[in-house]
Structure 1
């Protein structure tokens, strides 16, 4: 059984987290049944961007990161405190572990800024929130990333994306890395996606 750590920061977007819980939940019950996703936060309760509060299954201080095979991180809003947790050294330390171990890392939208802040995107291709009114791509570049203006960037074991609309595609890419293309097609079909 491959375990995915869904790392949640205060201010995360629930829709971006839910693509991972749904895709990996469908795989656990209806796909090849080889994955388990575990929600983890810095504290016992985490509040999403729109004030929906969740209780993660585990607190970061109580986990052994070595028991996990992949990392998934949804983005969030600065106004909701996302970067307070996403730039916290405990959060960044988890990212650095997965990178050093060359385990898959998938981020959606501005979650790539936490990857950048951790130092793992230096001289790597990546993307982040790309709306013309946003300065987030400049911020990602300031962390040393080679910013690509495309919806999803897959550079080695790291997946980054440019907005919430990419969420399902990012989750399916991560599932493919951990299982197989044929399994992803099966899960997509069962979930009603065109394949």
Structure 2
């Protein structure tokens, strides 16, 4: 099973790390069939706040959706240009391709907004950042999404969540869909979550 972890500039490290660590534990510690590749627009992507950079494995124009089983999208901070890349038509089209093939798409916080903008969540349930008068949830609703103010909302193949605190839960939910509950619980236990 292979996950594409897409990082737009200004991504949140706390939302990125659980996907990376959970997949890493599954593969390295337990030998499960999980691969993870990081993707972006440039070879290095800067995170929010302290400017930590990560190197990507693939650029967006190198991606063949058929090579992947799932797409993971950490949210980011608008002050660091997150939406400049998250709303880029190339990324929106990538989301549509994953959705058209019913592949799992998992997002944390405002990572749901490009899914909404792509049209993949139109007429479906989702959530996003819920604080500050729920202004991000109102934006998501503007894309035709039925917003549910809960920590994690799952509608068929799409997993959305409402803040950083939910990132591990989303990462485990994604893993569960790829390798099953029993193996996911082994990872949860090994990482101290159960």
Quote the residue 1:22 is aligned against. Answer: 21
SS in 2 for 1:192: coil
Quote the residue 1:71 is aligned against. Answer: 71
CA displacement at 1:134 relative to structure 2: 4.2
Residues 32 and 183 of structure 1 are in contact (CA less than 8 Å); yes or no, is this contact kept in structure 2?
no
SS in 2 for 1:22: helix
Question: Once the two structures are superposed, what CA deviation does each residue of 1:94-146 show, in whole Å capped at 9, x if it has no partner?
Answer: 10000000000000000000100101111100000001444101000000000
CA displacement at 1:63 relative to structure 2: 2.2
Quote the residue 1:4 is aligned against. Answer: 3
Q: TM-score, normalization: structure 1? A: 0.96
Quote the residue 1:46 is aligned against. Answer: 45
Give 5+ residue unaligned stretches, structure 1: none
Question: Once the two structures are superposed, what CA deviation does each residue of 1:134-192 show, in whole Å capped at 9, x if it has no partner?
Answer: 41010000000000010000110100000000000000000000011111110011111
Quote the residue 1:98 is aligned against. Answer: 98
Q: Distance in 1 between matches of 2:23 and 2:141?
A: 31
With 50-59 and 175-184 compared, the bigger mean Cα shift is at: 50-59
Q: Distance in 2 between matches of 1:32 and 1:133?
A: 44
Quote the residue 2:146 is aligned against. Answer: 146
Q: Distance in 1 between matches of 2:60 and 2:134?
A: 31
Report how many aligned residue pairs link the two structures. 193
Q: Distance in 1 between matches of 2:57 and 2:13?
A: 15
SS in 2 for 1:110: helix
CA RMSD of aligned residues (A): 0.9
Give 5+ residue unaligned stretches, structure 2: none
Q: Distance in 1 between matches of 2:31 and 2:175?
A: 11
CA displacement at 1:34 relative to structure 2: 1.0
Q: How does 1:27-176 map to 2 (within 5 A)?
A: 27-50=26-49, 51-176=51-176
